[in-house]
Amino acid sequence: MKPNLIVMKFGGSSVADGLAMKQVLAVAAKDSSVKKIIVLSASKGITDKIIETCNLAVSKYDAAVRLIEEVRSHHISIAKDALSSANALDRAVTHINSIIDDFIRYIKGINLLSELTPKMIDHCLAFGEKLSTLIFHNLLIEKSIKSELAQAEQFIKTNSNFGKASPDFDKIKELINNPYGLLDKFGKCDIIVTQGFIGSDSDGNITTLGRGGSDYSAAILGFACSADEIQIWTDVSGVQSADPKQIDKARTINKMSINEIRELSFFGAKVLHPDTIKPAVEAGITVKVLNTFSPHEQGTLIDSSPELTPQIHSISVKKNILSIKFTFKTNHNSSRQAAEILSTLSNNKYATLASSFTESSMIVFVEVDDNAKVIMLKSLFRDCIISYGDMCCIVGNNLTAAEQNSIAHKILHSIQDIPIKFFLLGSNDESIFIFADAEYSDRLIRNIHSLIE
Q: Which does 316 bind (CB under 5 to 8 A by kind): ligand ASP, Mg ion, ligand ADP, none?
A: ligand ADP
CA distance 64 to 84: 32
Q: Which does 299 bind (CB under 5 to 8 A by kind): ligand ASP, ligand ADP, Mg ion, none?
A: none
Query: CB 43 → Mg ion: shortest distance, Å?
Result: 13
How many Å is the Cα radius of gyration of the chain?
A: 24
CA distance 143 to 122: 33
Query: CB 452 → ligand ADP: shortest distance, Å?
Result: 12
**Residue 195 belongs to what H/E stretch?**
strand 191-195
E strands present in 210-259: 229-234, 255-257
Question: Would you state the torsion angle of the CA atoms of residues 52, 56, 58, 60, taken in this order, to the nearest 10 degrees?
Answer: -170
> 174 and 202 in contact (C-beta within 8 Å)?
no
**Residues in contact with ligand ASP, shown as a per-residue x/- string from 3 to 22 under the rule CB under 6 A:** --------xx----------
Residue nearest to ligand ADP (CB): 11
For 14-33, b where at least 16 C-beta lie within 10 A, e where not — what string?
bbbbbebbebbbebbbeeee
Query: CB 116 → ligand ASP: shortest distance, Å?
Result: 18
Determine the interface stretch with ligand ASP among 206-214, 276-284, 316-324, 383-391 (rule: CB under 6 A).
Answer: 206-214
Query: CB 195 → ligand ASP: shortest distance, Å?
Result: 9
- Measured CA angle at 89 (ends 84, 92), to 5 deg: 140
CA distance 125 to 211: 10
Q: Binding to ligand ASP (CB under 6 A): which residues in 121-140?
A: 128
CA distance 156 to 208: 10
> 82 and 21 in contact (C-beta within 8 Å)?
yes
E strands present in 292-448: 300-303, 311-327, 351-357, 361-367, 385-397, 422-425, 431-436
CA distance 2 to 9: 19
> 33 and 23 in contact (C-beta within 8 Å)?
no
Beta bridge partners of 190: none
**Residue 147 belongs to what H/E stretch?**
strand 147-150
Q: Which does 269 bind (CB under 5 to 8 A by kind): ligand ASP, ligand ADP, Mg ion, none?
A: ligand ADP
Determine the interface stretch with ligand ASP among 91-99, 181-189, 210-218, 412-420 (rule: CB under 6 A).
Answer: 210-218
**Residues in contact with Mg ion, shown as a per-residue x/- string from 263 to 302 under the rule CB under 5 A:** ----------------------------------------
Q: Which is nearer to ligand ASP, 300 or 397 (CB)?
A: 300
Query: CB 75 → Mg ion: shortest distance, Å?
Result: 20
CA distance 234 to 236: 6
Q: Which does 235 bind (CB under 5 to 8 A by kind): ligand ASP, Mg ion, ligand ADP, none?
A: ligand ADP
Q: Which is nearer to ligand ASP, 41 or 397 (CB)?
A: 41
Determine the interface stretch with ligand ASP among 28-36, 39-47, 322-330, 356-364 (rule: CB under 6 A).
Answer: 39-47
Q: Which is nearer to ligand ADP, 14 or 400 (CB)?
A: 14
**Residues in contact with Mg ion, shown as a per-residue x/- string from 8 to 37 under the rule CB under 5 A:** ---x--------------------------
Query: CB 373 → ligand ASP: shortest distance, Å?
Result: 21
Among 28, 111, 194, 212, binds ligand ASP (CB under 6 A): 212
**Residues in contact with ligand ASP, shown as a per-residue x/- string from 213 to 252 under the rule CB under 6 A:** xx--------------------------------------
Q: Beta-carbon neighbour count of residue 192 at 10 Å?
A: 23
Closest CA to 317 of 263, 356, 249, 250: 263
Under the binding rule (CB under 6 A), the answer on residue 396 touching ligand ASP is no
For residue 3, give every residue at least 6 positions away whose Cβ sits within 8 Å of its Cβ, in sequence order, or none.
34, 227, 228, 229
Which chain residues interact with ligand ADP by CB under 6 A?
11-14, 41, 212, 234-236, 239-240, 242-245, 269-271, 314, 316
Under the binding rule (CB under 5 A), the answer on residue 212 touching Mg ion is yes
Q: Which residues bind ligand ASP (CB under 6 A)?
A: 11-12, 41-42, 47, 128, 196-197, 211-214
Given the rule CB under 5 A, which residues bind Mg ion?
11, 212
